[in-house]
Amino acid sequence: MTEERDLSLLEALDHLLDRGVTISGHAIISIGGVDLIYLGLSVVLASVDTLTVVPAGMRRTIEGEADGER
């Protein structure tokens, strides 16, 4: 049940960050095809309490990426 909820949240985040109409506002969202917000999310997900929303199988990968970014 928890895993299902986690998956739903991840899917919702994936859609929010990577789908839909792209409109440029004041924020820089990508440079050279690299989505900075997406990258930032990987980093922040591994930091504080939000780690709990990441399914167990993904934690190591995201922690590794986060370490690499710092």
Partner 1 sequence: VSGEPRLLLLGAHLFPEDADVSGVTAFEAGGIVASAIEYDPDRPLAEPALIESAARARARLIEREIFVGVRYGATFRTREEVAAKIGSRAPGWRRLLEENRGKVELTLKIAGRGALRPAPEGVSSGADYLKQLHRLRRSEVDPAFRAAAEEEIAREAVAARWSDRHDGAVELALLVPRSEIARFRERGEALKSRFPSVAFLLSGPWPLEAFADE
Check residue 23 for interaction with partner 1 (CB under 8 A). Answer: yes
CB atoms within 10 A of CB 34: 8
Q: Which of 48, 56, 68, 70 binds partner 1 (CB under 8 A)?
A: 48
Check residue 19 for interaction with partner 1 (CB under 8 A). Answer: yes
Are 28 and 36 in contact by the 8 Å Cβ rule? The answer is yes
Are 51 and 59 in contact by the 8 Å Cβ rule? The answer is yes
Check residue 1 for interaction with partner 1 (CB under 8 A). Answer: no
Which residue ranges make up the site for partner 1 (CB under 8 A)? 7-9, 11-13, 15-27, 29, 36-37, 40-41, 43-45, 48, 50
